[in-house]
Amino acid sequence: MYQRGIEFNQQKGGWIEVVCGPMFSGKTEELIRRMRRAQIAGQKVEIFKPVSDVRYDNQEVVSHDKNSIPSTPIENSSNMLLLVNEVQVVGIDEAQFFDDGIIEVANAIANQGKRVVIAGLDKDFKGRPFGPMPDLLATAEYVTKLHAICRRTGGPAHFSFRIVEGDQTFLLGEQNEYEPVSRLVYNELNKTKSGH
């Protein structure tokens, strides 16, 4: 099949999928689900996570629900290029913690005809675009935005409110560090925190 003079083969064309949302929205769970489905389809997969992500396990990608899948922790995104030669599907968890080179790396892997599935926080605890995620979202062919549940309103939660003190952007979190909240609750909590 040809498209504007370029050979187009659905089986060999690569692409990028990004799964994003706040804390506790099921991003890692969705990444694991997509990787397992690829394995069921007989595809060879490789999953990467930042070496700094040691919340549940040093080697595996683990969701908050304790589902897990083997992964390769890496320091620098460029290391992925050395480890994907024989694979068809590449998974990347906690992409917001990788260096900005991950955008070029993800594109290079997709350009090799591979499917790249990326999961990460789209916003930090201050509600700002997080690390390389905005560029990954703009580059991706497919974007899935998940929402957590705001326990205070019962509605969708779009923000990750940090419960503990501190201003550093990099803070791996659990339920005692972050709370998923709606926009209204997020704004109210920030007003209370700042004393306004």
Active site residues: 94
All residues at 6 or more sequence positions from 98 whose CB lies less than 8 Å from its CB, including other chains: 50, 77, 92, 131, 132
119 neighbors 27 (Cβ within 8 angstroms): yes
Tell me how far apart the alpha carbons of residues 162 and 46 are, in angstroms, rounded to a whole number: 32
Six token digits for residue 50 = 């930042």
Residue 170: count of CB within 10 angstroms of its CB: 10
All residues at 6 or more sequence positions from 115 whose CB lies less than 8 Å from its CB, including other chains: 14, 15, 17, 38, 88, 89, 90
